[in-house]
Amino acid sequence: MTTHLPQDHPKLAPAKVGVLVSNLGTPDGTSYWPMRRYLNEFLSDRRVIDYSPWLWQPLLQAVILTTRPKKSGANYKLIWNTERDESPLLTITRDQTDALRVALHARYGDTVMVDFCMRYGKPSTLDKVAEMEAAGCHKIVFLPLYPQYAGATVATANDQFFRALMKLKWQPAVRTVAPYFDRPDYIAALAQSVRDTLAGDQPDILLCSYHGLPKRYLTEGDPYHCQCQKTTRLLREALGWDASRVMTTFQSKFGPEEWLQPYTVEEVARQAKAGNKKIAVISPAFSADCIETLEEIQGEIQHAFKDAGGESFTYIPCLNDRSDHIAMLEQVITENLSGWI
């Protein structure tokens, strides 16, 4: 292609296809200002908090961001990767990307460029899209690392990706990956992670705890709740367990509105009081362990269970960089590269 260009033509990189995976995001540090910057970006997203900015921003800037960064920073300190000085989410997302890069290079060679970005914080979506464009990626597959679709996760990641494209003179062709909440290979990986962690020691109850959303979002058309319920059902069927032993719950409620229920923190206490002293919790909505799983589930939610009389609490880690998870993501990407390579 470039051999026919005139000598004074700007240099062009060899054409490639980009694969850009995206996760939620992470603060740069646990102190007040890094936490405030991160929370400000996150909580200012209209996909996350859709109240009128005239009402929400004064409350956010004058009240919430004066106190919440300190509290959130203390929670992040409990799980911080001190060796790399970064959050576990950043560590795991990088490890996932490295594994995908190796797998896709073995399949496609140097024709595919693999990288990751964060919706909030660094590395930013805007920077990574610009890097791919400069590296010669005339086509990009964009993969938000969320099995279930929600406006506050997949849609806002896609929004940011499209904003990055708006800044380019020469836009690549793009494909955004559909949610994979009911893929057989995703369900199989979830089921195997349950078997591996429990090692035959079955709990009284398995709670599938998903990040919550305001209930209003469901009535306004967001399919997240339905997709979570289907993931739980398919996981239960793959495990071969009775329906009475597997539940869908929701965590991380924020603000005064009613959110999707039952709330995980309340349900674990109810189960303990009902005599179910041994429970396990899995988080199928998260592709990588993060503050919500490492601190909220294993801290606040576990404490609520044991304070109510529970005895055995097992957390089943996210799929992270398990080989079956990477193989599933590689297959998803390969399907979305069809016709491009």
Residue 15: its pLDDT value, please?
85
**How many angstroms separate the CA atoms of 57 and 213, rounded?**
20
| Tokens describing residue 314 | 């097992």
Break the chain into its structural domains and give their ranges.
Answer: 16-179+324-336, 184-316
d(CA 196, CA 125): 35
User: What pLDDT score was predicted for residue 1?
Assistant: 47
Mean pLDDT for the chain overall: 95
CATH fold group of domain 184-316? Rossmann fold (3.40.50)
Residues of the chain with pLDDT > 70, as a percent, come to: 96
The first and second tokens of residue 73, run together, are: 């920073």
Judged by DSSP in three states, 297 sits in helix
| Mean pLDDT (whole number) for 225-235 | 98
Identify which of 179, 177, 19, 175 has the alpha carbon closest to the alpha carbon of residue 97: 19
pLDDT in tens, 86-135: 999 999 999 999 999 999 999 999 999 999 999 999 999 999 999 999 99
Average pLDDT estimate for 245-253: 97
Domains 16-179+324-336 and 184-316 share a fold: yes
Q: What is 16-179+324-336's CATH topology?
A: Rossmann fold (3.40.50)
Other CB atoms within a 10 A radius of the CB of residue 232 amount to 23
